[in-house]
Amino acid sequence: MSEVLNVEEIFGQNVFTLGKMRERLPKKVFYEVKNVMDHGGELSLATADIVAKAMKDWAVEHGATHYTHWFQPLTGVTAEKHDAFVTNPDENGKMLMEFSGKELIKGEPDASSFPSGGLRATFEARGYTIWDITSPVFLKEDATGVLLCIPTAFCSYTGEALDKKTPLLRSMEALSEQALRIVRLFGNTEATKVTASVGAEQEYFLVDRDNFLARKDLIYAGRTLFGAPAPKGQELDDHYFGTIRRRVGAFMHELNIELWKLGITAKTQHNEVAPAQHELAPIYNTANVAVDHNQVVMETMKVVAERQNLACLLHEKPFAGVNGSGKHDNWSITTDNGVNLLEPTKTPHNNKQFLLVLACIMKAVDIHADLLRQSASDVGNDHRLGANEAPPAIISMFLGEQLEDIVEHIINDGLATASLEGGKLRTGVNTLSDIGKDATDRNRTSPFAFTGNKFEFRMVGSKDSIASPNTTLNAIVAEAFCEACDELEKAEDFDSACDALIQRYMTEHQRIIFNGNGYSDEWVAEAERRGLPNIKSMVEAVETLTTDKAVALFEKFHIFTRKELESREEILYEQYSKVVNIESLVMIDMATKQYIPAVIRYTRALADTVLKVREAGADVSVQSAMLDEISALLKEAKAALETLKKSQAEGHAMAGKEQAFFYKDVVMKDMDALRAPIDKLEMLVDKECWPVPSYGDLTFEV
């Protein structure tokens, strides 16, 4: 038997939790902090000093030597610069570890090398990190020792957001303010705040580390850029929820422990559809903390994998031909007196507050479908969306039979008088109990599905931060709430005005509802008839950020200024080009230095064989034919390589939007043209001569 693991004891041991603050801070200080956490405002420097000292003492007791302002620049990964608690020694040479309130609240990394999209020139390098009191500080243990991580927002000298957290926090405040107006309409005077909650299900792949290190494409690009399919893929559905293999199990076990120590509620784990693919889901948390936690989850997966001689691939499409990875973003909104605005109750047809909220969300998603689509786009996700494994690139909403029936009645008759019920599920087996059914089945092909008391946004990529999708969701729903309240707060007869508004919104925006198969071609045609946008790629989605509609939305709720949006647009084009440029260079590198030389060596050996066999007077037709076939493909590969080199150079010399489109339309096609003959060669050349591990080695050898 293994040693008994005390999860309750280790849970949160590396987090400076509210409980620890309560223990370690004077009562008055604790309540001051708690008040700012819950309702905003500023801590006085004197208070911050006390908090900083308590934090430092706790951290040092746990072995910490350094602290960092941990932030989320627009690179999509997190950033940290470590400072030791070390101070100048006194005259006796004695040094005391210190950490001040000022150091806790504000940092000033020289941040000129982070993407700013023209918000800052390199000579104006000042950027500030500002403590986000709403996300707990935590200890990170790595090769540098123990590090106190302070979640922070990252802004420019002039106050523009240079990160993903600042707009998210702004959007949460906007949503809270507008959602409060909604609940006030229904007589809720107690709630003081409404919070968006998020649970992100994280998919990932695990491969053997030695195999990983033998593939330059995985090292540099995070995905395979070559590779013939393995004889077996996911067609038997035997990996999904299958028994967890030993090495994977050991990984999951250690990962859970690390996450629990960090107060992350790792809850669900299972094998996913593709071979070597797995999933982890935590219990939901406030949007801000969920975003931070998801970053920590991704980082921890990489670290634990390395320790176990594995590599964790978070890319959206590490392998062609089998499913890629995504991140389901489960989202709901709850008042601080415990009401989930997305809880339909048993009889949603007469739950007017719920129906109003639903009508507003229908409107928000319909009007801003383009923005939602944009928020889930990244370079890797282009390989998934619309590719029969993930939702299509078209945004639609799935409500389920029960709500759809109600919406239909409201549209046709102005009201719904009943709610469909789930009833009993009978198995026909006496010894199995009849269970209560949900009122609604699920739809796995919908990008935005109502799942009981939350919406599940299923488009998000596995590697991407979930900050943007949630910022967008909060913003668009805040706007719809605001517009509804502007009207309803003035109404003389609230009840009838509310009914009319719900009916109007649902009627005007019913085209966004789709309950059918989102993976089918018919839906693409139907969506076009309905006038729903079908934005096929990340680069095509970028400009949705700066339409008049988007600028008006984000400026109205102080989430982004036009300038911030324009800067993000620039960064996204740049990111796209840079990623594809790296991928093309990796392909050029691998083809030139690995594949083509390997094939040449093999053809030389084959040619020798042909000569020798002929000399021996035996039939050499097979060897000759193979030599011809392989040489022809080699020629094709070499030509494709030269073409790719040219287009890569041409693309590299361009800039901005034009460059991004060139990479998408020209360079990517040339990459495909190079991959095709090499993948065919992989199936012809002796495996002993092949320079890299195959798809089979990678996905079945863990």
* Shortest Å distance, C-beta 289 to Mg ion: 19
When the beta carbons of 205 and 331 are compared against ligand ADP, the nearer one is 331
| Rounded CA separation 545/373 (Å) | 11
Selected from 129, 451, 474, 647, the binder of ligand ADP by CB under 6 A is 451
How far is CA 28 from each of CA 52, 536, 626, rounded to the nearest angstrom? 15, 55, 83
Pattern 271-310, Mg ion, x by CB under 5 A: ----------------------------------------
**Residue 281 contacts which entry, ligand ADP, Mg ion, none (Cβ below 5-8 A, type-dependent):** ligand ADP
Cα(197)–Cα(339) distance, integer angstroms: 12
Say whether 76 sits in a helix, a strand or coil: coil
Give the DSSP H/E element, type plus range, for residue 410. helix 401-413
- Three-state secondary-structure class, residue 504: helix
Nearest to 535, CA basis, from 373, 352, 655: 373
Closer to ligand ADP by Cβ: residue 74 or 281:
281
Cβ distance to ligand ADP smaller for residue 268 or 592:
268
Residue 69 touching Mg ion (CB under 5 A): no
Q: Residue 170's binding partner, choosing from Mg ion, ligand ADP, none, with beta-carbon cut-off 5 to 8 A by kind?
A: none
Question: Under DSSP, is residue 464 helix (H, G, I), strand (E, B) or coil?
Answer: coil
Nearest-angstrom CA–CA distance, 249 and 115:
38
Q: How far is the CB of 456 from ligand ADP (least distance, A)?
A: 6
Site string for ligand ADP, 174-203 (x = CB under 6 A): -----------------------xxx-x--
Q: Which does 332 bind (CB under 5 to 8 A by kind): Mg ion, ligand ADP, none?
A: ligand ADP
Q: Which stretch binds Mg ion (CB under 5 A): 88-96, 122-130, 320-328, 333-341?
A: 320-328
The residue among 268 and 520 lying less far from ligand ADP, judged by its C-beta, is: 268
What's 465-503 look like in SS3? CCHHHHHHHHHHHHHHHHHHHHHHCCCCCHHHHHHHHHH
Rounded CA gap, 671 and 217, in Å?
Answer: 13
Q: Which of 166, 332, 470, 694 binds ligand ADP (CB under 6 A)?
A: 332
Residue 450 identity (one-letter amino acid): F
Q: How far apart are CA 448 and CA 362, in angstroms?
A: 11
CB of 284 to ligand ADP, least distance (A): 3
Residue 373 binds Mg ion (CB under 5 A): no
Residue 200's identity, in one-letter code, is A
What's the length of the chain?
702
In degrees, rounded to 5, the angle at the alpha carbon of residue 468 between the alpha carbons of residues 367 and 520 is 55
Q: Which of residues 282 and 651 has its CB atom nearest to ligand ADP in the complex?
A: 282
Residue 197's binding partner among Mg ion, ligand ADP, none (Cβ under 5 to 8 angstroms by kind) is: ligand ADP
Q: Is 428 exposed, middle or buried (0-12, 13-18, 19+ CB in 10 A)?
A: exposed
Measured distance CA(270)–CA(580) in Å, rounded: 32
Site for ligand ADP in 263-322 (CB under 6 A): 268, 281-284
Question: In this structure, what token pair is assigned to residue 228?
Answer: 């013939």
Q: Which stretch binds ligand ADP (CB under 6 A): 131-139, 326-334, 361-369, 430-438?
A: 326-334
The CA–CA distances, whole Å, from 104 to 43, 137, 151, 161 equal 11, 10, 10, 19
Give the closest residue to 363 by CA, choosing from 516, 503, 542, 552. 503
Which region, judged by CB under 5 A, interacts with Mg ion, from 322-330, 514-522, 615-623, 631-639? 322-330
Out of 315, 363, 454, 509, point to the residue binding ligand ADP (CB under 6 A).
454
Whole-angstrom Cα Rg for the chain: 28
Cβ-based nearer residue to ligand ADP, 284 or 554: 284
In angstroms, what is the minimal distance from the CB of 199 to ligand ADP? 2
- Please pick, from the candidates 120, 278, 328, 463, the single residue that binds Mg ion as defined by CB under 5 A: 328
Out of 17, 65, 188, 453, point to the residue binding ligand ADP (CB under 6 A).
453
Binding site for ligand ADP (CB under 6 A): 197-199, 201, 268, 281-284, 330-332, 340, 451, 453-454
Binding site for Mg ion (CB under 5 A): 328
